């Protein structure tokens, strides 16, 4: 057993120093880091190096099915790492490196210390899955009474005023993240969470959280090009959801998002123009990939569902 407030020893997590308040376990089955005050509860639930214990299927949405753990009255979400895009049909939930969930744990702690809204990661796990392969999981606090932005914007009963405020709030949140040097590796509407009270008309302003920090990075400062590339990624995912007719937006919503991101008109125009040019050039290739994914999904079982 090693205390996680110390530098991780080579051979365990040589490049990750876990936050204070976590303990690290390691044996032939894999590696587990868990918040020390929850360690006994995880052990009692049977979730750890020995297996998933009392974890059950979640009603929440994700790239792959999510699980939940209930520990002394509080619920936690278990997310298994799954490859995205076409790669998921080849490798599914198996990865070559074990450190990714632990890096996400560290990054979530850093964002929360900067008052950026993201659920706390309370445990991370890497289990061996064959020679040189790993299955990876993180466990986060569950944000109750919430829905991801993609599903929120897909609701037929969504009031136009609520939609406009959600789009603007997303633009403001992405700007806050960028201003703090945070670059989300998978910035999509499904990785932004909104409270249901606002959707039901019980709040003046929406509260949003950012989810799934895997492969994301924190830098001292982001360049304009990095910011533009990140926003273009979000635009690409929005375009796909719109083409699948599973999300409802107006033509003016892109500008509403950008106005919240950059209030100054000249700077906004200069920021947006390269994004739209690059988006138009790359769209044909992305549509080809989307078509291949759709074809694969009708022909074989998705290994990401393992």
Distance CA 142, CA 109 (A): 15
Greater model confidence, 1 or 241? 241
111-121 as b/e, with b when 16 or more CB fall inside 10 Å?
Answer: beeeebbbbeb
Q: What sign does the CA torsion over 105, 110, 113, 118 have?
A: negative
Distances (CA, A) of 178 to 87, 158, 260: 28, 28, 13
Distance CA 242, CA 63 (A): 18
Rounded to the nearest integer, the mean pLDDT of the chain is: 87
Confidence of residue 157 (pLDDT cuts 50, 70, 90): confident
270-275 long-range contacts (CB < 8 A, ≥24 apart) are 271/224, 271/227, 271/228, 274/228, 275/228, 275/231, 275/232, 275/235
Q: What integer pLDDT is reported at residue 48 of this predicted model? A: 97
pLDDT over 60 (residue 63)? no
Q: What integer pLDDT is reported at residue 4 of this predicted model? A: 39
Give pLDDT tens digits for 141-150: 999 999 999 9
pLDDT over 60 (residue 168)? yes
Distances (CA, A) of 181 to 87, 111, 117, 286: 28, 10, 15, 27
- Quote the longest CA-to-CA distance of the chain: 58
Answer yes or no: are the C-beta atoms of 98 and 163 closer than 8 Å.
no
Query: In whole angstroms, how large is the CA radius of gyration of the chain?
Result: 20
Confidence of residue 93 (pLDDT cuts 50, 70, 90): confident
Q: What integer pLDDT is reported at residue 64 of this predicted model? A: 64
Give pLDDT tens digits for 267-303: 999 999 999 999 998 887 777 766 776 665 555 443 3
Distances (CA, A) of 164 to 23, 208, 228, 257, 267: 44, 14, 22, 9, 22
Q: What is the mean pLDDT of residues 163-187?
A: 97
Percentage of the chain surpassing pLDDT 90? 68
Q: What integer pLDDT is reported at residue 278 of this predicted model? A: 94
Give pLDDT tens digits for 230-280: 999 999 999 988 888 888 898 899 999 999 999 999 999 999 999 999 999
Greater model confidence, 287 or 219? 219
Full-model pTM: 0.87
């Amino acid at each position: 057993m090693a205390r996680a407030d110390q530098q991780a020893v080579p051979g365990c997590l040589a490049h990750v120093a876990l936050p204070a308040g976590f303990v690290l376990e390691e044996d032939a089955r894999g590696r587990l880091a868990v918040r020390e005050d929850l360690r006994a509860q995880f052990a009692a639930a049977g979730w750890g190096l020995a297996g998933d214990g009392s974890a059950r299927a979640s009603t929440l949405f994700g790239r792959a099915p999510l699980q939940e753990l209930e520990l002394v009255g509080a619920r936690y979400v278990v997310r298994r790492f799954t490859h995205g895009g076409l790669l998921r049909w080849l490798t599914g939930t198996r990865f070559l490196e074990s450190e990714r969930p632990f890096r996400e744990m560290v990054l979530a702690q850093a964002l929360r210390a900067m008052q950026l809204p993201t659920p706390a990661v309370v445990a991370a796990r890497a289990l061996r899955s064959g020679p040189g392969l790993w299955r990876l999981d993180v466990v986060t606090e569950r944000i109750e009474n919430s829905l991801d932005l993609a599903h929120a914007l897909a609701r037929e009963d969504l009031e136009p005023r609520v939609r406009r405020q959600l789009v603007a709030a997303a633009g403001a949140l992405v700007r806050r993240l960028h201003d703090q040097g945070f670059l989300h590796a998978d910035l999509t509407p499904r990785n932004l969470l909104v409270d249901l009270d606002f959707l039901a008309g019980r709040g003046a302003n929406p509260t949003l959280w950012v989810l799934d920090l895997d492969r994301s990075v924190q830098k001292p400062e982001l360049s304009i090009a990095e910011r533009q590339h990140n926003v273009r990624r979000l635009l690409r995912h929005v375009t796909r959801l719109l083409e699948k007719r599973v999300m409802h937006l107006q033509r003016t919503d892109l500008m509403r998002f950008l106005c919240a991101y950059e209030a100054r008109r000249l700077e906004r125009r200069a920021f947006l123009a390269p994004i739209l040019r690059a988006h138009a050039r790359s769209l044909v290739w992305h549509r080809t990939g989307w078509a291949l994914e759709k074809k694969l999904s009708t022909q074989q079982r998705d290994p990401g569902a393992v």
